[in-house]
Amino acid sequence: MAAVDVRGLRKSYGGQEAVRGITFALAEGEVFCLLGPNGAGKTTTIEILEGYRTRDAGDVSVLGLDPQRRDRALRERIGVVLQHSESWANVTVTETLRIFAGYYRRPRDVDEVVALVGLDAKRDARVKTLSGGQKRRLDLALALVGDPDLIFLDEPTTGFDPQARRNAWELVRGLRALGKTILLTTHYLDEAQQLADRVAVLRDGVIVSEGTPSELMASSRTEIRYRENGAVKVIATDEPTRLLHELTSRAVAEGRELEELEVRRSSLEDVYLDLLDDTPE
């Protein structure tokens, strides 16, 4: 059984259709990433799956249940990082986590979760005194404290410093190794490339592309850059080996250096931006 199964999902706000009949599924143990520009419908979709919003049409199954019914059995098995969350400002980090742990039958150890997200130094700090990135780490801790099977992470690393982001990636990989299923959104394409087994790109409420990061990057090319006579040359090619051989042999024969030589595959971000350029609004 799929951990998450979405068919023909639709949602409008007023007359405006934010999600326009999308279909996708997550296998158990999979990390799936929803990508797409601001307003594409990612949060709408994810909050419908979490049971925080109702749908207008379509079939949705989350761990075999309909999230709209808000069964306690389902809530105990999912963990959530909302895009915007409000914690209780006047309680401390560990107090907040203990309160949340109390909602679950088999919570994780609070101290362990504090350590996992790197908040040891702030464990007794009031939530209102945390920095933006530290608050986000607490959000992540709150999603993990119930030891859920399925985790929804809506832009979990927004505001993280580079080191915290790497730590969060390790955390997600660790959760995946434990067999957890993860649905993630992010605007960091390197994050999607690092973490996702599969990605779907949403645009204006429609999935415009879906596949593994390598499938999406099948169209990616190699870019060779160097400086010649003061000008930067950039060549995109599907035959980097041959082209590089020609360029370097010529330069060696002429006894000169290809200055600032760089060879680079286009990234998932390049492919993503090309895809959005090509897709009509």
Ligand X SMILES: Nc1ncnc2c1ncn2[C@@H]1O[C@H](COP(=O)(O)OP(=O)(O)OP(=O)(O)O)[C@@H](O)[C@H]1O
Q: Name the binder of 39 from Mg ion, ligand X, none, CB < 5-8 A by kind.
A: ligand X
Residue of the chain from 26, 31, 36, 67 that contacts ligand X (CB under 6 A): 36
CB nearer to ligand X: give 82 or 142. 82
Q: Which stretch binds Mg ion (CB under 5 A): 35-43, 50-58, 192-200, 222-230?
A: 35-43
CB nearer to ligand X: give 21 or 29. 21
CB of 34 to Mg ion, least distance (A): 9
Q: Which stretch binds ligand X (CB under 6 A): 35-43, 115-123, 162-170, 252-260?
A: 35-43
Residue 43 binds Mg ion (CB under 5 A) = yes
Residue located via tokens 């799929």: 2
Q: Name the binder of 114 from Mg ion, ligand X, none, CB < 5-8 A by kind.
A: none
CB nearer to Mg ion: give 7 or 187. 187
CB of 153 to ligand X, least distance (A): 13
How far apart are alpha carbons 151 and 26 in whole angstroms? 12
Q: Name the binder of 80 from Mg ion, ligand X, none, CB < 5-8 A by kind.
A: none
Residue 42 binds ligand X (CB under 6 A) = yes
Complete DSSP assignment for the chain: --SEEEEEEEEEETTEEEEEEEEEEE-TT-EEEEE-STTSSHHHHHHHHHTSS--SEEEEEETTB-GGG--HHHHTTEEEE-SS----TTSBHHHHHHHHHTTSSSPPPHHHHHHHTT-GGGTTSBGGGS-HHHHHHHHHHHHHTT--SEEEEESTTTT--HHHHHHHHHHHHHHHHTT-EEEEE-S-HHHHHHH-SEEEEEETTEEEEEE-HHHHGGG--EEEEEEETTEEEEEEES-HHHHHHHHHHHHHHTT---EEEEEEE--HHHHHHHHHHHS--
Q: What are phi and psi of 64, to 5 degrees?
A: 80, 0
Q: Name the binder of 146 from ligand X, Mg ion, none, CB < 5-8 A by kind.
A: none
By CB under 5 A, the residues from 51 to 110 that bind Mg ion are 83
How far apart are alpha carbons 273 and 214 in whole angstroms? 16
CB of 266 to ligand X, least distance (A): 23
CB of 178 to Mg ion, least distance (A): 26
- The mark string for 61-90 relative to ligand X (x by CB under 6 A, - otherwise) is ----------------------x-------
Residue 229 binds ligand X (CB under 6 A) = no
- Residues lying near Mg ion in the complex (CB under 5 A) are found at 42-43, 83
- Residues lying near ligand X in the complex (CB under 6 A) are found at 13, 18, 36, 38-44, 83
